[in-house]
A and B are shown apart, each in its own frame.
Chain A
Amino acid sequence: MPASIHAPASGSPTRADGRASYQRARRRASVQALLLALPLIVFLLSTFIAPIALLLARSVENKEVPDSMPALTRALDAWDGRGVPDERMFALLASGLKDAQQSGQLGTVARRLNFAQPEFRSLLMRTARSVRDETPAAWKPALIEMDERWNSPETWRVLKRAAATPTPDYLLAAVDAQVTPQGNLAFVPDNSSVYRQAFLRTISISASVTLLCLVLGYPVAWLLANLPAQSSNRLMLFVIVPFWTSLLVRTTAWYVLLQPGGVINGLLAGLGLATHPVPLIFNRTGVLIGMTHVLLPYMILAIYSVMKGVSPVYVRAAQSLGAHPFTAFVRVYIPQTLPGVGAGCFLVFVLALGYYITPALLGGAGDEMISQLIALQTNTQLNWGLAGALSAYLVIFTAIFYFLFNRIVGIDRLRFG
């Protein structure tokens, strides 16, 4: 229903009356419009935004130890963190472990502590086993005798940090940083650093794919936009059919073709371009080829949709004013297509950042992108804290990118074909 301004039926309307009734009508129309979109907004907030918010919240949560061993947690909080604690703490540890085993949470706690220090799980399980069977007079000497790691301040420091909530440890670990025993921020030693490199690698791969798609796609979009409708439509088929083909099908196709004994290497050998099979799969090359192939249609379609609206009049005018065709193209045509280029680059880059399937199937161990590492944490390591932290950085980076691009290009005006 279009908003309409009804003039008051009787009396001579004052300006204030008119404005007031206009504003009322406008507000009513606003509310109506909002109400129409409300079901979707509520739906998305609960099924989409809330889950992501929950995941990101996990990056600072630290509930495993406090939930299963509350008394020990309180004591650790109060403890100053220096040296090895006293008998009371050891007794609380013993009873806490017993409780955790009863409530079935021991495995969870052991795994949580393992994230902080890889030997902790076996230490905790052994301790839990001996605690179950014995009841010594004093816990401190008994536990230290069972395993001397309990006599080390480092062990207790790790335990204290693992019981503190909220914790910055996951967010730090996601960029290979940590809090040292002295209390400073420092980077983790190089031989345990994985994530900074992974982020850089993800950005680098995404940027490369974007560049490749741009270079490959721009001329194609130009030709499609400037050919007569019939030929253009026929050629468009070659772009749309891959676009509609399942991602898995396309990635499988590359998996088959890029093998050392596969079609592409066969062609290269046959044309005399290669004497040994060229490694094209399980490495960066395979990932780039696969991702470019999948994302190229997005770039072509985005640029094409803008080029369609560019009138040839301007380039002709420039040429009639004396410009060389190349100059006219660069200085008159390309700027007009920039919104499409921007939209295409944005879309390809952001989609590439989140890719999982293609790098998982076509890449090697050194090509892992952030999505694969997040999936590793959620599916294999069950480290939701780290997964949440990695996701947080990824989402924040994507969001900043989105807002920047919206300023320049206006993503909400992007149409789909």
Chain B
Amino acid sequence: MTEQRNRVLTERIASRWVRVHTALVLFFLVAPILAIIPLSFNSGSYFSYPLQGFSLRWYEQALTSADWQRSLLNSVGIGAASTLIATGLGTLAALGLSRTQFPLRSVIMPIIISPMIVPIVVVAAGFYLIFAPLGLVNSYPGVILAHAALGTPFVVITVTASLLSFDQSLLRAASGLGAKPWTAFRRVTLPLITPAVATGSVFAFATSFDEVIVILFIGGPDQRTVPRQMWSGIRDSIDPSILAVATMLIVFAVLLFASINWLRGRAAAASRALV
């Protein structure tokens, strides 16, 4: 009996300790991000607390400055273009990879995953070497191609996972009902993998949006993106408007997460609806 009580006690202590530990770690994860939000309203022009006064001047500067506006346009434009390429190529590849008969999987898979693993400075330096003689440095196509390469692994991984759990009998049923292969793909497979495709695209977009090192190496003054501008803000011209931008990015991140959640809910609902 005492043994039983000891066990229950051990479990309770462990459980309490785990909760405290988790609370501290989650606090550690979130607190720094929250701590800079008040700083973005600092009326002074330095990064330090204590606040000199409340002011919206940095938000005003960020939103009206031509530099920041252009970087936002660039980030969205480059992100959209590279995501389009990544999604197209990645989904296609996933369709092939998810099949059991896919040859040379152990060779091809590392190639496809490599953009996630290879150190980004090596990747960026390599891009510079190959793009410079081709005139792709300081150009939009160069940056878009580079970001597309970085985003494809995410699309491949999410869509492959979705296809692996895809019920092949649905396609057989469709073919049994007289559908041609392309029709079956369009009307059965595609709708079911769309949430996974969308999730992968969001990841690819986020990767491009957040990317700064490749831009540092191969982007020119015209291709400045939001993170590139922030990097300058910290290193070159110490500009607290980056804190205003940072706060806006945090809000954007929360929205992004919400959209992923919603997409996942859709995927779950879609697969439930078929049962």
Docked-complex contact A47 and B89, CB < 8 angstroms:
no
**Least Cβ–Cβ distance between A372 and chain B, in angstroms:** 8
**Least Cβ–Cβ distance between B17 and chain A, in angstroms:** 8
Residues of A within 8 A of B119 (CB): 353-356, 370-371, 374, 391, 394-395, 398
**Assuming A245-B253, A354-B118, is B93 touching A36 (CB within 8 A)?**
yes
**Least Cβ–Cβ distance between B105 and chain A, in angstroms:** 8
Residues of A within 8 A of B130 (CB): 50-51, 54
- A253 vs B29: C-alpha distance in the bound complex, in angstroms? 11
* Other-chain residue from B113, B217, B257 in contact with A237 (beta carbon distance below 8 A): B257
**Least Cβ–Cβ distance between B181 and chain A, in angstroms:** 5
Taken residue by residue from 252 to 283, chain A's Cβ proximity to chain B (1 for < 8 Å, 0 otherwise) reads as 11111101011100100000000000000000
- The interface stretch among B52-60, B61-69, B146-154 is B146-154
* Other-chain residue from A32, A44, A54 in contact with B149 (beta carbon distance below 8 A): A44
Residues of B within 8 A of A49 (CB): 111, 114
B234 in the interface (beta carbon within 8 A): yes
* Other-chain residue from B7, B115, B181, B206 in contact with A48 (beta carbon distance below 8 A): B115
B residues 16-42 in Cβ contact with A at 8 Å? 18-19, 21-22, 25-26, 28-30, 32-33, 35-36, 39
- A355 vs B118: C-alpha distance in the bound complex, in angstroms? 11
Residues of B within 8 A of A361 (CB): 234
Tally of contact residues, A, Cβ under 8 A? 96
B198 in the interface (beta carbon within 8 A): no
Residues of B within 8 A of A45 (CB): 111
Residues of B within 8 A of A256 (CB): 35-36, 39, 47-48
B residues 119-157 in Cβ contact with A at 8 Å? 119-123, 125-131, 145-146, 148-149, 152, 154, 156-157
Residues of A within 8 A of B210 (CB): 246-248
B residues 74-123 in Cβ contact with A at 8 Å? 85, 89-90, 92-93, 95-97, 99, 101-105, 108-115, 117-123
List the B residue with the shortest CB-CB distance to A45: B111
A125 in the interface (beta carbon within 8 A): no
Residues of B within 8 A of A44 (CB): 111-112, 114-115, 149, 152
- A241 vs B250: C-alpha distance in the bound complex, in angstroms? 8
- A263 vs B97: C-alpha distance in the bound complex, in angstroms? 50
Number of A-B contacts (CB under 8 A): 279
- A356 vs B216: C-alpha distance in the bound complex, in angstroms? 12
A223 in the interface (beta carbon within 8 A): yes
Residues of B within 8 A of A365 (CB): none
**Chain B contact patch, size range:** 35 or more
Docked-complex contact B249 and A245, CB < 8 angstroms:
yes
Residues of B within 8 A of A32 (CB): 96, 99
* Other-chain residue from B103, B109, B145, B157 in contact with A30 (beta carbon distance below 8 A): B103
A217 in the interface (beta carbon within 8 A): yes
Taken residue by residue from 333 to 359, chain A's Cβ proximity to chain B (1 for < 8 Å, 0 otherwise) reads as 000000000000000001001111100
* Other-chain residue from A55, A293, A354, A357 in contact with B212 (beta carbon distance below 8 A): A357
* Other-chain residue from B22, B114, B118 in contact with A223 (beta carbon distance below 8 A): B22
- The interface stretch among A62-70, A102-110, A407-415 is A407-415
* Other-chain residue from A39, A412, A417 in contact with B89 (beta carbon distance below 8 A): A39
Q: Which of A47, A353, A375, A414 has the most CB of B within 10 A?
A: A47
* Other-chain residue from B101, B145, B227 in contact with A47 (beta carbon distance below 8 A): B145
Docked-complex contact A33 and B102, CB < 8 angstroms:
yes
* Other-chain residue from A34, A216, A244, A259 in contact with B25 (beta carbon distance below 8 A): A216
Docked-complex contact A40 and B36, CB < 8 angstroms:
no
Docked-complex contact B149 and A48, CB < 8 angstroms:
yes
B10 in the interface (beta carbon within 8 A): yes
**Least Cβ–Cβ distance between B49 and chain A, in angstroms:** 6
Docked-complex contact B89 and A43, CB < 8 angstroms:
yes
Q: Which A residues fall within an 8 A CB radius of B?
A: 1-3, 26, 29-30, 32-41, 43-45, 47-55, 58, 216-217, 219-220, 222-224, 235, 237-242, 244-250, 252-257, 259, 261-263, 266, 293, 296-297, 319, 324-326, 350, 353-357, 361, 370-372, 374-375, 378-379, 384, 387, 391, 394-395, 398, 402, 406, 411-412, 414-417
Sampled A-B contacts (8; CB under 8 Å):
A32-B96, A54-B129, A253-B33, A254-B32, A261-B48, A296-B25, A387-B125, A394-B122
- CB-based closest 6 A-B pairs: A354-B119, A36-B96, A51-B126, A37-B96, A40-B93, A244-B253
